[in-house]
Structure 1
Amino acid sequence: MIADFRRLRAGMAGLAFLVLTALVAVAAPLFISGHDLSAAFAPGAPRQAPSSDFLLGTDAFGRSMVDVTIWGARISLTVGLLATLLAVGIGALVGITAGHFGGWAGTVLMRVTDWFVVLPVLVLATALASVLSPGMGTVVVAIGVTSWPRTARVVRAQTLSVEARPYIERAKALGGGHGHVMGRHILPNVMPLMLAQATLTVSEAILAEATLAFLGLSDPTKVSWGTTLQLARQVGAVSADDWWILLPPGLAIVAVALAFTVVGRALEQVLNPRLQELM
């Protein structure tokens, strides 16, 4: 699997970019102080255009856009990953349960899944976030509990395929219970698909976090790419043509979302036998 993935240049490029982004985000406190990110002690003049002192200019508080963009990666990536873990966890639980038990239980679970599928995820997440107190946890929950249906459908399909294999019948004949079959036989077989689905879900979660923050449904005290764009909207950066406040976080969102999507598509090609011929 690893060797096949290495042959996909786009996937390797996306993975390298994500690893670099994660390392920079984790190391941000080593070269960016909280003092420089404070609105009260910002090092520059508000809305200063790019210069030798501030390569990407400053925001409405006078904070360096380089610092704001790098620090924003910490919140945006954290929210995206946590929301993805929640969404994939719910989707895997629903999919494995529906595929393994079948019958009326599986039918009910898949009808609930279909109900979530037809609802606009962003609208549902916005409605959920608006009734809860603003904060990073609220955004994680709002995205996670509305983004699981696709994972559930993929996992259920793979579960049904695994259930038809002879060794599952042998495990049941030897006294293996539902927990044994699902945990020891089905889960390991659906894990690769869950991984591929997770990489695609992260990109959607990051975009959703930016949207919710832009709408003012996130914690305004946290520096993320979404809250940076929200601040730019509030101060009229678009009408004032202060492009340096909008461009860095916007490009960061696009680049990271695209990288996760490319990695996810590459994993799909590796894991899906019908796509192996395209490699």
Structure 2
Amino acid sequence: MNALLRPGAMLAAGFLILLAVSALLAPWLLSASPWEMLARPLIPPFSDASHWLGTDMLGRDIATGLLYGARTSLTVGLLATLATLLPALLIGATAGYFGGWIDELLMRVAECFQIIPQLVLAVVLVALMEPSVGSVVLALALVAWPPVARLVRSEFQSLRQREFVQAALVLGQTPSRIAFTQILPNALSPLLVSLTFILAAAILTEAALAFLGLGDPEAMSWGYMINASRNLLREAPSMSLLPGVAILLTVLSVQRVGEALREAVQATGSQGGRP
């Protein structure tokens, strides 16, 4: 657990908690909509107390856009991570527990998804559907599940040989009960670590889709903010820089927390933390 108490990990976790709370409370913290034109266009940052991060080319408040963009990025990232978990668990657990031709078939299906670059596949899937939060979440889940399923498969293959699983077999427990009451709880630690990196990738991919114009047109997004200001890089570089920094800090913080979790899991495993 020492890895989780390191200053870097604690700072990253604190930033994510503060960002999540601020994004959750954005409608109460801010009186205006992120789409509302509040002042003259292109107010520089820190030059107006009412709009301390400035305004964009339409006079919309950039700070408001950043907070609502955090709502979109974190919501899509979390929903995509949860949506990734279900097929990954079912496919990985089935392949790892039963093995044989079932394992071969399911892993070949996973390879079909992994052949195509994730962003390309996500762009194609969202383009085929109507751009919305739901379609983006579905696309992200479909491109992200194969590596998680492989991890679950590996854990199940290792754990099914343990004595407690053999004892459950002798007692006559069904394969589904053994898989989800005996094996799965012992596979959760590395799975949770993997999901933090899936979350980081989902936030990045959502921003990329929004930048390409494939995000939800009714939801403010960091990627949309960068796309909208790309023609004003010389006149107002802060319009692109601020959402870009927000994406960078969020993804780095998620990955830092994930690294700390991975180190903690490895330390626990080396000390015989598993049954």
Interval containing the TM-score (normalised by the shorter chain): over 0.9
Q: Relative to structure 1, is the Cα distance of residues 162 and 139 closer, same or farther in structure 2, using a 3 angstrom cutoff?
A: same
Which deviates more from structure 2 when the two are superposed, residues 186-195 or residues 4-13?
A: 4-13
Query: 1:276, 1:4 → 2: CA distance?
Result: 14
How far apart in 2 are the matches of 1:204 and 1:228? 19
Q: Cα distance 1:275–1:178, how it changes in 2: closer, same or farther (>3 A)?
A: closer
Q: Give yes or no for contact 2:3–2:9 (8 Å, CA) kept in 1.
A: yes
Q: Which amino acid aligns with 1:237?
A: L
Q: Structure 1 residue 237 and structure 2 residue 197: aligned?
A: no
Query: Given that residues 5 and 12 in structure 1 are in contact (C-alpha distance below 8 angstroms), is that contact kept between their aligned partners in structure 2?
Result: no
Distance 1:77 1:212, change over 3 A: same
Give 5+ residue unaligned stretches, structure 2: none
Deviates more, 1:223-232 or 1:128-137: 223-232
Q: CA 1:172–1:276 in 2, change beyond 3 Å: closer, same or farther?
A: closer
Q: TM-score, normalised by structure 2?
A: 0.92
C-alpha distance in structure 1 between counterparts of 2:61 and 2:269, whole Å: 45
Identical positions, percent: 37
1:52 corresponding residue in structure 2? 48
The one of 7, 10, 13 equivalent to 2:8 is: 10
| 2:243 aligned partner, one-letter code | P
For the residues of structure 2 that align with 1:176 and 1:182, how far apart are their CA atoms?
10
Structure 1 spans left out of the alignment, 5+ residues? none
**Cα displacement string for residues 53-100 of structure 1 (whole angstroms, at most 9, x for unaligned residues):** 322211122111111111210111000110111112222221111100
For 2:137 and 2:5, how far apart are their aligned partners in 1?
34
Verify the 8 A CA contact 1:269 1:275 in the aligned structure 2. Answer: no
How far apart, in 2, do the equivalents of 1:274 and 1:180 lie?
26
Query: 2:240 matched to 1:246?
Result: yes
Equivalent residue, structure 2, for 1:270: 264
Q: Secondary structure at the match of 2:250?
A: helix
Q: Which residue of 1 aligns with 2:78?
A: 81
Greater shift, 136-145 or 85-94, is seen at 85-94
Amino acid at match of 1:231: A
Conserved? CA contact 1:76–1:225, under 8 Å: yes
Does 1:23 find its partner at 2:18? no
Q: CA RMSD in A?
A: 1.7
Q: CA deviation at 1:274?
A: 9.2
**Equivalent-residue separation in structure 1 for 2:171 and 2:33 (angstroms):** 64
Maintained 8 Å contact 2:4/2:264:
no
**Shift in Å at residue 36 of structure 1?**
4.2
Map residues 141-220 of structure 1 onto 2, 5 A cutoff.
Answer: 141-220=138-217
Runs of 4+ that moved beyond 6 A? 274-277
C-alpha change, 1:176 and 1:38, in structure 2 (3 Å) is: same
Work out the CA distance in 2 between the residues paired with 1:63 and 1:27: 19
* Secondary structure, counterpart of 2:52 in structure 1: coil
TM-score scaled to structure 1, two decimals? 0.91
